[in-house]
Chain A
Amino acid sequence: MRSGLLSPGLLRDVAFAIAALALLLVLPMAFPAPALRDFLIYFFAYGLLAMSLNLLVGLTGLVSFGHAAYFATGAYAFGLLMQTGRVSIPLAMLAAVGGTALVALVIGAICVRLKEIYFSFITLAFQMFIHSVIVTWVSLTGGDQGLRGGIPRPPILGLDLNDARVLYGACAAVFVLCILAMRQVSQSPFGYTLRMIRDNPARANFLGVDVTAMKLGIFVFAAAMASVGGLILALFVSGAYPEFAFWTTSGEAIFMIMLGGTTIFLGPLVGTLLLQTLNHFVTIYTEHHGLVLGTVILVIVLGLRRGLADVVYDWLQGRRTTRPNTPAGPTPEGAEPAPLPDGALKSRIV
């Protein structure tokens, strides 16, 4: 374990994370429009949702249609805890993430036994169940009005989160930490076991892999990471709404993955950025933003047939292989270390 902590791969990722965090912190200083900060906080929240969903879809081959359930669970648990006024923000965060993990453990224990489309549908069913609970349990959740009354932001260690810049910085730090955690998991022996399961679960089982337990493990971890996205959003908008748990939120997360790509680790973030930018600008110019979004998605799906990040990555790989004398430098940050195979594999989810 100790040697693993010192491995060059991790050091490289940590260095990249620090650089990314620095960039995220400098960005609003360079362009001090509040709209950019708000945009980025939304990006953090939905980015974590999409990235964690891709741990299931891209890494393990589990297509979950109900991932937003845990996004909402995190948001509501955090909001409710903060409204009691008795817990600090870090404690409420830990409790919300832990609570979501427990919920996911129970739901996942049922879901991961099912395969393919049945898995997708039962995750959707549980999501609608959680959505109904939120809408009908008015005394606790405020029903379809959402969690009202605001979420207080007591200072942590002298940091006043009511200051928009401090709030932004805290969200950015949490976001980068979570991405780093997901990167570590995807590059760990566990992550490679999940790749085996994605490629060939029957053979993985014949090689002594407890497929059900591994799937449950990643299901719970992905749910926990999604809940962090939810609580960032709750903290920012100072409330939580049933739409967080609605199937359209899960659908958006799947769109983000499809737009960005499943094979590159950071692909879903590219998709999140793309979808959000589209959303942002299209709604300014037209009421029919659904129509425009749908068209763009159609063009990408039909034209590229895979995510944008995948296309760019393959293009870079292609350029590298056409120059055979170039030493194989470090792979682009966030990319899979293995070169992508040609032909047959391009169409499949790697």
Chain B
Amino acid sequence: MLRVEHLSKSFGGVCASRDVSIDFPTGSLTAIIGPNGAGKTTFFNLISGHVRPDEGRVVFDGADIVGLSSLEVVRRGMARAFQVASLFPSLTVREALTAAVVSHRRGSARVFTRFPVAAAGRQADEIMDLMGLSPKAKVVSANLSHGDQKLLDIGLALAMDPKMLLLDEPTAGMGPEERWRMIGKVHSLWQVTGMTMLFIEHDMDIVFKIAQTIHVLKYGAVLAQGNPEEIRRNKDVIDAYLGTDHRLSETVGEA
């Protein structure tokens, strides 16, 4: 579905992405992990057309999408949700989702019909069911709880009928219990829709539990990739997360 080849991007002297090549097969559920500042969000910005890479190719659904605007990328079927929920504060949940569906159906310029349009409203209702937001349909987005805001953020991306969904830290800022509920929802969403999904996550337990494949980024480069079992045992990854001190003590102990 998505193949990234030799992707590089620097901001001033900082290399936020260096020679990243990853393949995301159709229908896969992949996690991107890495310490703070590893370039995870930059990676999302590069593939979703928000930031243009200095070098490399992003092949989505058979076509190179480097240089396309984020608008065109969305229209090709790659939608994203944001680390900090990016919503429409004055619209209710139902209004926001319906407006997003209308946009996806290229109906944004219609002036002779009344909002909400019935067909778009039905699809918005389906998304609300899927995300468990139905009881909040008439709540203004600004008044939603943090968890519901994140759910709505994903819901808005779903309104694009995406082939591929990018989730930037779906559990950011949540308590442990809320995290598991959220990630359960993400997992079931993947099972129900069969979409290709890619998410950034900090919580190792969550990543190891649900991801099929994990890619570890550090200083903008791919440090390791593999299934949860492989990553769990990977020395470099342990170093990156726990620091090198523990191994020092290990070697000292051995000597």
Contacts of B95 in A (CB 8 A): 192, 195, 338
How many residue pairs at the A-B interface have CB separations less than 8 Å?
134
Identity of the chain B residue whose Cβ is nearest the Cβ of A194 in the assembled complex: B108
Q: Is the CB of B90 within 8 A of A207?
A: no
Q: Is the CB of A4 within 8 A of B108?
A: no
| Residue A185 interfacial (CB < 8 Å) | yes
With A200-B87, A203-B156, A345-B89 known as contacts, the answer to whether A193 contacts B112 (CB < 8 A) is no
Interface locus among A113-121, A209-217, A233-241? A209-217
Q: How many residues of A contact B (CB 8 A)?
A: 41
Contacts of B99 in A (CB 8 A): 189, 192-193, 195-196
| Residue B8 interfacial (CB < 8 Å) | no
Given A187, A339, A345, which contacts B115 in the complex, CB threshold below 8 Å?
A: A187
Identity of the chain A residue whose Cβ is nearest the Cβ of B72 in the assembled complex: A208
| Residue A283 interfacial (CB < 8 Å) | no
**CA distance in complex: A184, B156 (Å):** 25
Identity of the chain A residue whose Cβ is nearest the Cβ of B74 in the assembled complex: A208
Min Cβ gap B100→A in Å is 5
Identity of the chain B residue whose Cβ is nearest the Cβ of A344 in the assembled complex: B142
**CA distance in complex: A202, B111 (Å):** 23
From 79 to 125 in chain B, residues with beta carbon under 8 angstroms from any chain A beta carbon are 79-80, 82, 86-92, 95-96, 98-100, 102-104, 107-118, 120
Q: Is the CB of B103 within 8 A of A190?
A: no
Min Cβ gap B190→A in Å is 21
Q: Is the CB of A189 within 8 A of B91?
A: no
Question: A201-234 vs B: 1/0 string, CB under 8 Å?
Answer: 0111111111001100100000000000000000
| Residue B75 interfacial (CB < 8 Å) | yes
Contacts of A210 in B (CB 8 A): 71, 108
Given B89, B102, B113, which contacts A4 in the complex, CB threshold below 8 Å?
A: B113
The CB with the most chain A CB atoms within 10 A, among B82, B95, B113, is that of B113
**CA distance in complex: A193, B109 (Å):** 8
Given A4, A196, A209, which contacts B91 in the complex, CB threshold below 8 Å?
A: A196
Q: Is the CB of B111 within 8 A of A184?
A: yes
Contacts of A10 in B (CB 8 A): 114
Q: Is the CB of B90 within 8 A of A199?
A: yes
**CA distance in complex: A3, B74 (Å):** 30
Identity of the chain B residue whose Cβ is nearest the Cβ of A190 in the assembled complex: B111
Q: Is the CB of B90 within 8 A of A209?
A: no
Q: Is the CB of A208 within 8 A of B104?
A: yes
Q: Is the CB of B86 within 8 A of A200?
A: yes
Q: Is the CB of B90 within 8 A of A188?
A: no
Question: A325-350 vs B: 1/0 string, CB under 8 Å?
Answer: 00000000000001101101100101
**CA distance in complex: A338, B96 (Å):** 12
| Residue A5 interfacial (CB < 8 Å) | yes
Contacts of A348 in B (CB 8 A): 89-90
| Residue A1 interfacial (CB < 8 Å) | yes
**CA distance in complex: A195, B169 (Å):** 27
With A191-B115, A341-B142 known as contacts, the answer to whether A209 contacts B88 (CB < 8 A) is no
| Residue B140 interfacial (CB < 8 Å) | yes
Given B103, B113, B117, which contacts A208 in the complex, CB threshold below 8 Å?
A: B103
Q: Is the CB of A209 within 8 A of B103?
A: yes
Closest 6 CB pairs of A and B: A4-B113, A199-B88, A193-B108, A7-B114, A341-B140, A203-B86
**Besides A200-B89, A202-B86, A350-B90, 7 other A-B contacts (C-beta < 8 A):** A189-B109, A193-B102, A193-B103, A199-B87, A203-B87, A207-B104, A208-B103
Query: Could you list 15 examples of A-B contacts with CB < 8 Å?
Result: A184-B114, A188-B110, A189-B102, A190-B109, A190-B111, A195-B88, A200-B86, A203-B87, A204-B88, A206-B80, A207-B74, A209-B71, A209-B108, A213-B109, A345-B90
**Chain A residues within CB distance 8 Å of chain B:** 1, 3-5, 7, 9-10, 184-185, 187-193, 195-196, 198-200, 202-210, 213-214, 217, 338-339, 341-342, 344-345, 348, 350
